[in-house]
Structure 1
Amino acid sequence: MATETFHPFGRLPPELRDQIWDLATLPLSPNHRPAAHFFTLANMREDRSMISLKDTISHDPWHRYCLVAPQCSGPGKMSWTESNPSAYLSEIGLWGACKESRRRVQNYRDPLSWSDWREVSTDYDGSDKLDRLPLLATFYSDGQNQNFTIYPRSDLLCIQPFNFDTINWADIHCNNSTVIGAFVGVHHMALEFDPTWGDPLRGPPPCLDKTGPLRCIATAVSFETHWVNNLWFIDYRIRRRPGSTLNEKRHVFYANSCRYVQVRETDTDWELATEPDIFEFLVDLNESLEEYFAVYYFAEEERPETNCPRWGQPVIGVLACEVSSNEESPWLAFKSSEGGICKM
Structure 2
Amino acid sequence: MAHFTRREMLAVPAAGAAASMIPIASAKAQSDATPDGTVPVFRYRLGEIEVFPIYDGMRGFPLQDGFVTNAPLEEVQAAFTQARRGTEQIENPFTATLFRIGGRLLLVDTGNGPQEGESPVGHLDVGLAAIGVSPEDIDTVVISHFHGDHISGLRRADGSPMFPNAETLVPEGEAAYWLDEGEMSRAPEGRRGGFERAQAIFAGEDLGMRTYTGGEELAPGMVAVDAHGHSPGHMAYRVQSGSDGLLLISDAAHLPFLFVANPDWSVRFDMDPEMARATRRRLLEEAAADRLMIAGYHWGFPNVGHVREAGTGFELVRIPWPG
Q: TM-score range by the shorter chain?
A: 0.3 to 0.5
TM-score normalized by structure 2? Answer: 0.33
Q: Which has the higher strand share?
A: 2
Structure showing greater Rg: 1
Q: Which has the higher helix share?
A: 1
TM-score normalized by structure 1? Answer: 0.31
